[in-house]
Amino acid sequence: MADLFRLDGKTVAVIGAGSGIGAAVAAGAARQGARVVCLDIAADSAIATADAITKAGGRADPVTVDIADPAATDAAMAHVREQTGSLDGVVCTPSINVRKQLLNYSEDEFDRVVRLNLKGSFNVVRAAGRVMVAQKSGSIVVFSSIRSLVVEPGQAIYAMTKAGIVQLVRGAACEFGAAGVRVNALGPGVVETPLTAPIKANAEWYEAYAKKSILKRWAKAEEMVGPTIFLISEAASFVTGTILYADGGWLAADGRFTPPGM
């Protein structure tokens, strides 16, 4: 059964590989035997992740890309295919969040969040889809969130983009499936990453989030590796058009109070 999760002979492109979940997933894919292409808007970060993988005995190459730029994203996916001979898996992790209540949101802030989270994800799915449909194989994983289903004050726009990603994935899966290409989303809960560093710095806020999950803690970036590898591997060969939540039970728990005697 372990062979189902192996990625030997496959090329996996990880976008956002310069830090956080993306860096963890890139390293995890390499450990499973993949040739990894580490893509990030920050060239130095992409190089650092690729170097770390290489020093650990894996194969990795850095590529700089801004996924909000459709032409650059198309070029990056085509480049991976040309350089490695295939594009077997694509993992898209980047997102940003401007935490503000809706009435205080500026148009510029709205555009920034939507441009990366939603348009960027669209650009990746379209660019990867073009390559994979032509080669008649491949798996795409786009990171959504528990915020695709639940929300709190200050999260409306971020949540909107994460819900949009789920529908983007479903639509792409419907369109690419005949060519043997799978498209899925991964929905983390709270994960310790650079994006969530401001929350971690606030002890009360950090603890409130920890208590909300059934496991009573935050996830580490490395804990997103297993679910992601599953979705891009042959272990998930009949899984497409869906979202896998890796949230420590956040969505399963209704409320924070345990009644007496329970």
Among candidate residues 145, 129, 224, the one with its CA nearest the CA of residue 182 = 129
The total number of residues written for the chain in this structure: 262
Alpha carbon distance 13, 80 (integer Å): 8
Is residue 177 packed enough to be buried (19+ CB in 10 Å), middle (13-18) or exposed (0-12)? middle
Residue partners of 240: CB distance under 8 A and separation at least 6: 173, 177, 182, 183, 184
Contact 148, 187 (CB under 8 A): yes
Encoded tokens for 105: 């949101």
List residues with catalytic annotation: 158
Strands 181-188 and 11-15 come out as: unpaired
Contact 49, 18 (CB under 8 A): yes
Among candidate residues 174, 181, 149, 180, the one with its CA nearest the CA of residue 241 = 174
Encoded tokens for 133: 């449909």
DSSP 20: H
3-state per-residue secondary structure call for 144-189: CCHHHCCCCCCCHHHHHHHHHHHHHHHHHHHHHHHHCEEEEEEEEC
